[in-house]
Structure 1
Amino acid sequence: MATDATALFLTSDEIADLADPADYVDPVREGYRERGEGAPAEPRTTLFNDDPTGMLTGYLAILPETGAMGGYTYAAGFGGRDAHFSLPIFDAESGDPLALLDGASMNPLKTGAAGAVGVDALARRDATDLAVIGSGTQARGQVRAAATVRDFDRIEVYSPTQDHRQSFAAEMNENLDATVAAVASSAAAVEGADVIITATNASEPVFDGDVIEPGAHVTAMGQYHSERRELDTTTIERATYVPDLRARVTRDAGSFIHAMDEGVVDEDDVHAELGEVVAGKESGRTSPEEVTVFDSGGTAIETVAAGKMLYDRAREAGVGEEIEFSPASEAMDGR
């Protein structure tokens, strides 16, 4: 007779104490390498509701070498007007449940790590100037992770609210070696930047693609909606375009969809998935003057990779509460 499987429940506070931003980058890079070598992953599915207003989102990945598989699910809005994240992790060999994570606190860290993997794969090695458009939690996660893969001397941040961008600059100056400055426009941030990160909730482009310097890299992570975009058509047309998952490009990569609608690119202009570049299956940057874009809409690749890292650390530290799951052969036997 099958026996109950014991899994570990980890709270958001417990997760926050288990790893620093830099600790997420290597596991996420390995997750994308596995994806580039054929590991299964599916883009997000989002269901929208009108009354009460809200959305339910989920996505899946199997990382055989990491030894984990799972699906990140979150609900946002509805009557509570808030968001809640859950992440079940299963053993990729046995299928047994390993952990259930309250996934809120890890979200900007695993997403930041995916952005850092994109920067590492596509940005010039000598990049020293970083521009960030946005000053919220996700922007913080992106910048702190990106600073682990490039030695930035200067970081310029722009967001529409002056207090927000100034607070961001003050906080990052305390946490990073680079000089961080708030600037008065997105153009001021982007001009001269070697790496540009957009982490906003904007529906329209947040800078003019003509301003991008030759050789710059752009990571766009703030929008995953077919009718919303952070990057303009000029940026997409100029760039070598790399998404996290090719299958999501025509579903929710609004910047690329808009550029297709304008007739300047088509699906053949998707250069490669990030995992294919990380795994060496496809080229990344091929010249110092090339403009590159990583379109990061969010996948379960980084989520499962990060979740497994957190689970392993929790087991080692003796953190978390053990919970039991009954196998289907027992739970569904008609009792």
Structure 2
Amino acid sequence: MTDDRALFLTSDDVRGLATPAEYVDAVREGYRERGEGAPARPRTRLTGGDPPGMLTGYSAILPETGAMGGYMYTGGFGSGDAHFVLPLFDAETGAPLAVFDGASLNPFKTGATGAVGLDALAREDATELAVIGSGSQARGQLRAAVTVREFDAVRVYSPTREHREAFAAAMDDELDPTVRAVDSSSAAVAGADAVVTATTAAEPVFDGADLADGAHVTCMGQYHPEKREVDAETVARATYVPDLRERVERDAGAFLLAREEGAVDDDHVHAELGEVVAGVEPGRTDPDEVTLFDSGGTAIETVAAAHMLYERAVDAGLGREIEFLPASRAFEE
């Protein structure tokens, strides 16, 4: 693209451009860069309107990837839905590269983030996975998770029987491990080597006492200071790794509520995911250690995944060119 032109990429343009494993590779590289100092800021969220809604955005620069940008999305405001816009810029020149409709890539880049956390912290010999949730984000998590560990069995639970059974049947047909629905979160979690939560629940979705020694937990479904998917016991037992330290005080409800209950203190934050991926801080050091990756979403995975898709779209001749007027020309008479 020239300095004043960029690509507009629709969800249909980028759908199918990369496999879950390729998303994982791109996102892992993004977190490695973050662990070595790449700038990233957690989300900011504005609320208002009648009916009420939420406007959210976050940003990151990945110098080695050569891209920067973020995500902005809305939810509520009477639409009953959410809309995602993803701007991508050249990290050297500042020129716009692309604007994405960010909807279709969302579960893939989010799933890849969960898998990077699982890969960095779970035991190498993990064979049993529990998934709590049965929506699109749970599908994204599972598709990515099976690319980083050779799971033999996956147990899935969500409150609605029809949803969990349909999810299990579809994923069992698609993936190598046996995927089956179970009737409780306890049945899913007990004995699991890894647990992934991808829900909209505001309260813990399993009992921390059910976690086996040596289990890893990836939490993906909440980013609100008063909501959590895991209880204080889980947080206290675990080596706690968030996506960004700065996010913890803003909206990591699992940590904040565990601290409020006296189960942990500020020093319980072990390291950011990027620090573990980059080898700056250790991850798991003992096979019986419980580990927890708490992800509320960052622009690290967003920029990393978007740049990969942008390069593939250029090679494939996808998208539509749009023109941006540089600020230096905006005031010309």
CA deviation vs aligned residue, 1:125-176 (integer Å, no higher than 9, x gap):
0000000000000000000000000000000000000000000001101111
Residue identity opposite 1:109 in structure 2: F
Work out whether residues 154 and 178 of structure 1, in 8 Å CA contact, stay in contact via their aligned partners in 2. Answer: yes
Given that 1:45 and 1:58 are in contact with CA atoms closer than 8 Å, whether structure 2 keeps it comes out as yes
Distance (whole Å) between structure 1 residues aligned to residue 233 and residue 214 of structure 2? 15
Partner SS for 1:99: strand
Q: Kindly report which structure 2 residues correspond to 1:252-263, keeping only aligned pairs within 5 A, or say none.
A: 252-263=251-262
Amino acid of the residue matched to residue 68 of structure 1? A
* Amino acid in structure 2 at the alignment position of 1:9: F
Structure 1: distance between partners of 2:274 and 2:39: 11
What percent of counterpart residues are identical?
A: 70
CA offsets 1:154-203 (integer angstroms, 9 cap, x no match): 00000000000000001101111000000000000000100000000001
Equivalent residue letter for 1:150? R
Q: Give the count of matched residue pairs.
A: 332
d(CA) in 2 for partners of 1:263, 1:50: 36
1:128 aligns with 2:127: yes
What does residue 171 of structure 1 align with? 170
2:290 aligned residue: 291
CA displacement 1:1-36 (0-9 Å, x = unmatched): xx8611011001111131122220111000000000
Alpha-carbon contact 1:244-1:298 (below 8 Å) kept: yes
Q: Distance in 2 between matches of 1:332 and 1:152?
A: 59
CA distance in 1 between counterparts of 2:19 and 2:171 reads 15
Q: Report the counterpart of residue 64 of structure 2 in structure 1.
A: 65
Q: Is the 8 A contact 1:202 1:229 kept in 2?
A: yes
Matches within 5 A, 1:15-26: 15-26=14-25
- The answer to whether the 8 Å contact 2:67/2:303 transfers is yes
How many angstroms does 1:50 deviate by?
A: 4.5
SS at match of 2:86: strand
**Which whole-Å CA distance do the structure 2 matches of 1:253 and 1:198 have between them?**
14
Deviates more, 1:264-273 or 1:213-222: 264-273
Q: Which residue of 2 aligns with 1:314?
A: 313
AA matched with 2:37: G
Unpaired segments of 5 or more residues in structure 2?
A: none
AA matched with 1:323: I
Question: Over the residues paired in the alignment, what is the CA RMSD in angstroms?
Answer: 0.9
Question: Does the 8 Å contact 2:196/2:218 carry over to 1?
Answer: yes
* Aligned position for 2:86: 87
What residue identity is the alignment partner of 1:22?
A
Deviation for aligned residue 1:79: 2.4
Q: What is the distance in 2 between the residues matched to 1:55 and 1:20?
A: 31
SS in 1 for 2:250: helix
Letter in 2 for 1:297: G
Provide the residue aligned with 1:226 in structure 2: 225
**Could you state the TM-score of these two structures normalised by the residue count of structure 1?**
0.98
Match of 1:209 in 2: 208
Contact 2:90 2:97 in 1 (8 A): yes
Q: TM-score, normalised by structure 2?
A: 0.98
Structure 2 residue 242 is matched with structure 1 residue 243: yes
CA contact (8 A) 1:4 1:326 kept: no
Q: Report runs of 4+ in structure 1 exceeding 3 Å deviation.
A: none
2:117 partner letter: G
Contact kept? 1:4, 1:324, Cα under 8 Å: no
Map Cα deviations across residues 81-128 of structure 1 (whole Å, 9 max, x no partner).
Answer: 211101000000000000000000000000000000000000000000
Q: How far did residue 265 of structure 1 move?
A: 1.1
Asked if structure 1 preserves the Cα contact closer than 8 Å seen for 2:3 and 2:95, the reply is no
Higher deviation after alignment, 204-213 or 41-50: 41-50
Once the 2 structures are TM-superposed, how far is the Cα of residue 322 of structure 1 from its aligned partner? 0.6
What is the aligned partner in structure 2 of residue 142 from structure 1? 141
